[in-house]
């Protein structure tokens, strides 16, 4: 109801955003990806994305990992013992430069078109993130290691790139239950759930683990697909890029700007980042 009311109050802004969405190029494989995202709640976009942009993201990731000890000391986001956030040094007043490879990757026309057709609205880029997941030894599972839906907004999609090979379960793959099978949990208030709780309502055969090599990229509707990950075992580590998009208008008050203009931007890019 909140979302509908907010959308109703901003019909002019919505019409403008749809007009901008309509200026994006189209391609049959993007339409197919959008349809898959709508029906299943996820889609593999590895063959769709610009490989050189993915490689630029990976180069940033590799550099951060080389300097891991130094960066760990500076980490702001310290509540998850199995997660290290490595981008804090790239922020100025909490904002990323718009020419940062992580931002460029999230602004690809194909990705915006896939998300836009799915949301019937130009998506809003909310955040970009680099995380290194580490073995959590014998600690109980916590946070995103447990099954959850994202509640950042009503419609939330995440674009991921694996920046290390995820070869098997020990590498802590992103694991999800496609949207149709996640339905029994759609209106659940409980946010993070154990396997036992989930598998009373969903058959284990519905679970999909994304086992895929470095530079694989995929979009998941994380507000509709129960998901978890980072259950790293033995001596493995996993490096992951995440871009989070919402369908505007945002249900909660807009947080401080996450992006700062550096270099020229198109009207589409400005609208996607609210700049």
Tell me the residue ranges of DSSP E strands in the chain. Answer: 42-44, 83-85, 96-97, 124-133, 156-162, 175-177, 208-209, 217-220, 226-228, 238-246, 259-260
Q: Which of 222, 223, 239, 241 binds ligand AKG (CB under 6 A)?
A: 222
Site map 168..207 versus ligand AKG, x via CB under 6 A: ------x---------------------------------
Give the nearer residue to ligand AKG in terms of CB position, either 64 or 227: 227
**Using the rule CB under 6 A, which residue among 229, 258, 259, 273 binds ligand AKG?**
229
Q: Is 153 in the site for ligand AKG (CB under 6 A)?
A: no
DSSP 184: G
Site for ligand AKG in 69-108 (CB under 6 A): none
Stretch that binds ligand AKG, among 41-49, 63-71, 226-234, 254-262 (CB under 6 A): 226-234
- Contacting residues for 240 by C-beta, under 8 A, at least 6 apart: 130, 131, 132, 133, 160, 161, 162, 163, 174, 229
Q: Which among 187, 181, 132, 122 has a CA at the least distance from the CA of 157?
A: 122
Choose among 44, 54, 71: nearest CA to 174.
Answer: 44
Q: Does 126 bind ligand AKG (CB under 6 A)?
A: no
Q: Cis link prior to 249 (omega < 30° from 0)?
A: yes
Count of residues interacting with ligand AKG (CB under 6 A): 11
Instruction: Say if CB 133 and CB 82 are below 8 A apart.
Output: yes
Site for ligand AKG in 13-42 (CB under 6 A): none
Closest CB 17 distance from ligand AKG, rounded Å: 25
CB of 22 vs ligand AKG, minimal distance in Å = 30
CB of 19 to ligand AKG, least distance (A): 31
Closest separation in Å from C-beta 42 to ligand AKG = 13
Of 17 and 238, nearer to ligand AKG (C-beta) is 238
Q: Is residue 216 close enough to count as binding ligand AKG by CB under 6 A?
A: no
For residue 31, give every residue at least 6 positions away whose Cβ sits within 8 Å of its Cβ, in sequence order, or none. 117
- Is residue 121 part of the contact set for ligand AKG (CB under 6 A)? no
Instruction: Name the helix (H) or strand (E) containing 116.
Output: helix 109-119
- Site residues, ligand AKG (CB under 6 A): 133, 144, 150, 158, 174, 222, 227-230, 242
């Amino acid at each position: 109801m909140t979302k509908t009311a907010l959308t109703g109050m901003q019909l002019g802004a919505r019409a403008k955003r749809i007009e901008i969405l309509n200026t994006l190029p189209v391609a049959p494989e993007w339409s197919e990806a959008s349809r898959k995202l709508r029906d299943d709640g996820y889609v593999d976009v590895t063959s769709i994305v610009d490989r050189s942009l993915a490689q630029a993201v990976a180069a940033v990731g590799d550099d951060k990992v080389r300097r891991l000890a130094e960066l760990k000391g500076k980490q702001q986001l310290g509540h998850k013992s199995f997660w290290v956030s490595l981008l804090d040094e790239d922020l100025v007043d909490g904002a990323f430069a718009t020419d940062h490879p992580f931002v460029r990757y999230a602004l690809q026309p194909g990705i915006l078109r896939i998300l836009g057709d799915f949301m019937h609205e130009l998506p809003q880029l909310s955040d970009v993130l680099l995380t290194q997941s580490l073995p959590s030894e014998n600690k109980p599972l916590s946070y995103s290691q447990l099954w959850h839906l994202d509640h950042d907004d009503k419609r939330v999609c995440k674009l991921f790139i694996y920046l290390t090979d995820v070869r098997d379960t020990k590498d802590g793959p992103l694991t999800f239950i496609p949207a149709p099978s996640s339905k029994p949990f759609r209106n659940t208030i409980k946010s993070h759930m154990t396997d036992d709780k989930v598998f009373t309502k969903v058959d284990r055969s519905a679970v999909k683990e994304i086992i895929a090599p470095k530079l694989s990229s995929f979009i998941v509707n994380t507000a509709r697909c129960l998901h978890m990950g980072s259950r790293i075992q033995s001596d493995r580590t996993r490096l992951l890029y995440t871009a989070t998009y919402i369908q505007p208008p945002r249900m909660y008050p807009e947080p401080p700007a996450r992006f700062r203009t550096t270099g020229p931007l198109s009207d589409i890019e400005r609208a996607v980042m609210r700049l």
